[in-house]
């Protein structure tokens, strides 16, 4: 997705935690008892850590696969950026965890990588959210999303918002009302829900956009830097 109009959904910590609880229940009900969680960096880290807690696991490993280069922008085919530690999964039953599966490439690449390089025991997969576009079929799914949207997770709220703000700013200054209007019209970010989910954070977002060299102040508002 490269367009500058697409649906975004803002989530909250509570909502995400509930999805973690659902996934943990499914794993427990299935009778699967993984020895180690491999969390895909970076989106799988929070769910991976919480699932360790809920499932009673000490071992949490990280695997970084890259192919997204910004909010809803895909880059190259995924590649392994940082592999799992060589002995972390050998002979062990593994649960690979990610936040969302969209194309499904990260999840299937992760499983292939672990199975081909690390001689694990059983390997199963869990995601908090699943999009029908996915070619991967995770073993455990917190929720199926019925339409495509870019999910703004609490752990990358600032990162995503700065990216979106960068897309709405241009050569004409926009004040805060203008920025909010553009975010609503182009990314379906409802202002009311925004204030419920992330109260009073727009100033901080704009400050960060400035600090990160995305926005600059001028003409009574903000311009693209």
Who's near 18: CB < 8 A, 6+ residues apart?
Answer: none
Between 101 and 198, name the residue whose CB sits nearer to ligand AMP.
Answer: 101
Position 43 contacts ligand AMP (CB under 6 A): yes
How many residues belong to the site for ligand AMP (CB under 6 A)? 16
**Interacting stretch for ligand AMP, rule CB under 6 A, among 31-39, 84-92, 99-107, 176-184?**
99-107
Burial 193-219 (b: 16+ CB within 10 A, else e): ebeebbeeebeebbebbbeeebbeeee
Q: What is the CA radius of gyration of the chain?
A: 19
| DSSP secondary structure letters along 40-78 | EETTTHHHHHHHHHHHT--EEEEEEEEEEEETTEEEEEE
Least distance from ligand AMP to the Cβ atom of residue 210, Å:
25
- Sketch the per residue contact string, 122 through 161, with ligand AMP: x for CB under 6 A, - otherwise: ------------x---------------xx----------
Cα–Cα distance between 151 and 166 in angstroms, integer? 17
As given in the structure block, the two tokens for residue 53 are 């807690």
**Interacting stretch for ligand AMP, rule CB under 6 A, among 45-53, 84-92, 103-111, 205-213?**
103-111
Least distance from ligand AMP to the Cβ atom of residue 56, Å:
25
Between 132 and 175, name the residue whose CB sits nearer to ligand AMP.
Answer: 132
For ligand AMP, the binding residue among 105, 181, 186, 212 (CB under 6 A) is 105
For ligand AMP, the binding residue among 62, 94, 99, 209 (CB under 6 A) is 99
As given in the structure block, the two tokens for residue 16 are 């995400």
Least distance from ligand AMP to the Cβ atom of residue 60, Å:
16
For ligand AMP, the binding residue among 35, 55, 66, 103 (CB under 6 A) is 103
Q: Which residues pair with 144 in a beta bridge?
A: 130
For ligand AMP, the binding residue among 11, 62, 101, 125 (CB under 6 A) is 101
CA dihedral angle for residue 49, residue 50, residue 55, residue 57, rounded to 10 degrees: 20
Length of the chain equals: 225
Positions touching ligand AMP (CB under 6 A) are: 40, 43, 68, 98-107, 134, 150-151
């Amino acid at each position: 997705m490269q367009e500058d109009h697409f649906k975004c959904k803002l989530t909250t910590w509570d909502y995400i935690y509930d999805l973690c609880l659902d996934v943990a229940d499914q794993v427990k009900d299935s009778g699967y008892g993984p020895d180690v969680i491999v969390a895909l960096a970076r989106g799988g880290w929070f769910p991976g850590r919480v699932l360790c807690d809920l499932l009673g696991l000490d071992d949490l490993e990280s695997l970084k696969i890259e192919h997204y280069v910004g909010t809803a922008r895909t880059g190259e085919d995924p590649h392994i950026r940082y592999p799992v530690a060589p002995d972390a999964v050998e002979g062990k039953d593994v649960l690979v965890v990610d936040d969302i599966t969209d194309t499904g490439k990260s999840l299937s690449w992760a499983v292939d990588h672990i199975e081909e390089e690390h001689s694990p025991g059983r390997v199963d997969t869990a995601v908090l959210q699943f999009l029908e576009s996915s070619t991967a079929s995770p073993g455990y799914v917190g929720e199926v999303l019925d339409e495509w949207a870019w999910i703004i997770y609490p752990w990358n709220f600032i990162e995503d918002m700065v990216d979106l703000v960068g897309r709405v700013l241009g050569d004409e200054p926009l004040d805060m009302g203008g920025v909010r209007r553009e975010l609503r019209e182009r990314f379906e970010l409802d202002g009311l829900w925004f204030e419920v989910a992330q109260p009073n954070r727009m100033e901080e977002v704009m400050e960060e956009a400035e600090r990160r060299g995305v926005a600059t102040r001028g003409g009574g508002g903000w311009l693209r830097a």
